[in-house]
């Protein structure tokens, strides 16, 4: 479907839960979350994706919170996989439980995973997230082993905290089919001082001139991709602040409580629950109108966005 600014919207990010076992400093999942009983059922999520597919959505990313906490996650994946128009299903995870679930999710129909990994240092990772970096590394190995490729590692860079690890992250892509993606710190939820902590993509490129620009994997992807000659993996720079890419944005977000958010960096939202209760055609029409009205661009830096990433979905 084409929105009012002539962008083809083909990508849905669907948050299956706001719950998470970690407490990342830029996210702080666990504060005023959607109660478990108010989360959409697997059946409703599949119905929403089906409606979206009839409007042109052909790629779905499952997010959270932490999606691996949904006990019916494999059923959600199987249901989405059965929708003919859906070409690609991916998952964003903190990977604390990925090693145990990777093979099952691959069998259910998952194509690939993005793993949040903000530090390779055990103590620093614990400080930033409250989690265990060894579990993340085990999960990455399991994902590669069962063919959830390419594995993409997402690192939110924070000035003075983990920006000294950029070279270590890049080194991971030398002998592994891994995409390392550095994400700029954004003013979302608990991050009113994000600008002072932000590491720009331009700084990374100046520090690592050996990075060579390469074509994107697909149109509308948020990252600008680079590679070092001879490396198996890619380096992606996601720069919504320093290099706004709203003109090519092809995505919408739907949260676990049934709220549709056309833009990550805006507070505009549409409640889908009344339409779900009215019927399938009403649901599809509500989504169609929301897609068409997708705003021109984000408002990062102009105002504080109250909902955090754990609410919106990564």
Residue 90: which of 28, 181, 224, 187 has the closest Cα? 181
Residue 23, domain CATH: 3.20.20.70
In a domain, 305, yes or no: yes
| Structure tokens given for 234 | 């890619």
Looking at the domain assignment, is residue 74 inside a domain?
A: yes
Residue from 97, 107, 89 nearest 65 by CA: 97
- The predicted structure's pLDDT at residue 131: 95
User: Residue 220, by phi and psi: left (phi above 0), alpha (psi -120 to 50) or beta?
Assistant: left
**Does residue 78 fall inside a structural domain?**
yes
Secondary structure (3-state) at 89 = strand
Q: What is the pLDDT of residue 118?
A: 94
Q: Is residue 3 part of a domain?
A: no
125-174 tens-digit pLDDT: 998 899 999 999 999 999 999 999 999 999 999 899 999 999 999 999 99
Is position 16 within any domain?
A: yes
Phi, psi of 259 (to 5 degrees): -95, 130
85 part of a folded domain: yes
Determine the Cα–Cα distance for residues 84 and 108; give it in Å rounded to an integer.
Answer: 15
Maximum alpha-carbon separation in the chain: 56
Using DSSP's 3-state secondary structure scheme, residue 270 falls into strand
Query: Using CA atoms, how far apart are residues 263 and 260, in angstroms rounded to an integer?
Result: 9
Tokens 């590491």 appear where?
199
pLDDT for 297: 72
Instruction: Report if residue 6 sits inside a domain.
Output: no
Confidence (pLDDT) at 133: 97
The pLDDT confidence band at residue 35, using thresholds 50, 70 and 90, is confident
Whole-angstrom CA distances from 48 to 54, 95, 235, 236, 257 are 10, 26, 33, 30, 12
Q: What is the pLDDT of residue 210?
A: 97
Our count of domains for the chain comes to: 1
Residue 312 has pLDDT above 60, yes or no: yes
Secondary structure (DSSP) of 197-215: H---HHHHHHH-TT-EE--
Domain containing 45: what range?
Answer: 11-312
CA 295/CA 297 separation, integer angstroms: 6
DSSP 54: T
261-311 tens-digit pLDDT: 998 878 789 999 999 999 999 999 999 999 999 998 766 555 555 555 555
Q: Is residue 2 part of a domain?
A: no
CB atoms within 10 A of CB 89: 23
């Amino acid at each position: 479907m084409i929105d009012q600014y002539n962008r083809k919207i083909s990508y849905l990010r669907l948050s299956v839960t706001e719950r998470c076992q970690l407490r990342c400093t830029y996210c702080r999942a666990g504060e005023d979350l959607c109660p478990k009983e108010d989360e959409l059922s697997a059946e409703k999520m599949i119905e929403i994706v089906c409606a979206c597919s009839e409007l042109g959505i052909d790629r779905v990313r499952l997010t959270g919170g932490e999606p691996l906490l949904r006990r019916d996650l494999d059923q959600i994946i199987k249901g989405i996989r059965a929708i003919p128009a859906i070409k690609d299903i991916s998952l964003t995870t903190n990977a604390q439980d990925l090693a145990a679930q990777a093979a099952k999710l691959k069998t259910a129909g998952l194509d690939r995973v993005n793993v949040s990994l903000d530090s390779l240092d055990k103590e620093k990772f614990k400080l930033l997230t409250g989690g265990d970096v060894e579990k993340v590394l085990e999960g990455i190995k399991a994902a590669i082993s069962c063919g959830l490729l390419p594995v993409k590692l997402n690192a939110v860079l924070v000035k003075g905290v983990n920006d000294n690890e950029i070279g270590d992250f890049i080194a991971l892509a030398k002998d592994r089919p891994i995409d390392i993606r550095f994400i700029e710190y954004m003013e979302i939820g608990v991050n009113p001082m994000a600008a002072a902590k932000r590491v720009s993509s331009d700084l990374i490129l100046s520090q690592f001139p050996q990075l060579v620009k390469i074509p994107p994997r697909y149109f509308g992807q948020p990252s600008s991709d680079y590679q070092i000659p001879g490396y198996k993996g890619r380096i992606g720079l996601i720069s919504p602040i320093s290099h706004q890419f709203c003109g090519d944005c092809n995505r919408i977000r739907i949260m676990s409580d049934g709220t549709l958010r056309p833009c990550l960096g805006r507070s505009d939202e549409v409640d889908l629950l009344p339409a779900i209760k009215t019927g399938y055609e009403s649901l599809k029409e509500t989504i169609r109108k929301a897609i068409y009205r997708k705003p021109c661009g984000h408002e990062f830096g102009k105002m504080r966005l109250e909902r955090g990433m754990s609410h919106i979905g990564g």
